[in-house]
Amino acid sequence: MVRDALFEILDALGAKVTRLGRTDTFTPVDTEAIRPEDIRLARQWAEQHDFDCIVSADGDGDRPLISDERGNWLRGDIAGILCARYLGAHTVATPVSSNSAVEKSGYFSRVIRTRIGSPYVIAAMNEALASDPGPVAGYEANGGFLTGSDILQENRTLKALPTRDAVIVILGVMLLARQENSSIAGLLQQLPQRFTASDRIKEFPTDQSHSRLAWLYPDGDEALARNRIETLFGSRFGKVAGINNTDGLRITFENGDVVHLRPSGNAPELRCYNEAGTQQQAEAMQKTCMAILDEWKKSY
């Protein structure tokens, strides 16, 4: 099982491992939607023990959880940046919904933004390899991490694994902290301070979601789109600086704040992702956006 393999790997590498919270019930892992009870539990464990981090994974081992020494879980799009940095990736492919710290960090020569879903990330990695054989990696905000090329580290080769893997993220973040003589919280402080919040409106028919977004961004008319977006949000977020419709509608405002609206690909839900310079601002934006989307739903 994944949990036993993870223990054996960490133990063999010299880590002192304490097993906690063992369960025989399958527990899904998504770093974009960590359960409140798991957030509380990690912080409680961190207070009770002298851990450098807490790690876990879902049952099939493709999505990791890793915390800092305080028991704060890392989102997948942050852990992905740190892992790709440790692996020395030149090019990184990641969905358009991922945290923009990946570009702002300056760690990578090229960042390719894709639609949401690992098939799109894999396709982008393959495209990158056609022009640059240098280390290529990809990750998703849900925690999945992929390598598109062989990676040489300390005269050893890590073979390409273009499918999601949890262990590589856990080891990559821990080894980067050791390499930098830093705690994991210290690594996070080195990153551009960009914070995210996400939520969704359930029972929002997909065709209605697409219709609403098409109204906001009509036939690629960006001038009209800017006017409609600024009218929709009023003076809450300011002027629109840019619009990306790679997957849904990702709106960047002049102050750097982001609102990303996207119909779910597998459920009648309208998802909203927000990004800002502080966690408080990201969460405040989220509340505002959810209230607006709720009004959208009621108006149909």
The H or E element that residue 151 is part of is strand 151-153
Catalogue the long-range contacts made by 276-285 (C-beta closer than 8 Å, 24 or more residues apart).
276/194, 276/195, 277/193, 277/194, 277/195, 278/193, 278/195, 279/195, 279/197, 281/195, 281/257, 282/195, 282/196, 282/197, 283/197, 285/197, 285/236, 285/237, 285/257, 285/259
Q: What is the pLDDT of residue 113?
A: 96
Most confident of 197-201, 231-235, 260-264: 260-264
Lowest mean pLDDT among 12-16, 22-26, 182-186, 243-247: 22-26
163-207: pLDDT as tens digits? 888 899 999 999 999 999 999 999 999 999 999 988 889 999 999
Q: Which domains does the chain have, with CATH numbers?
A: 1-192 (3.40.120.10), 195-299 (3.30.310.50)
- Mean pLDDT in residue range 210-219: 91
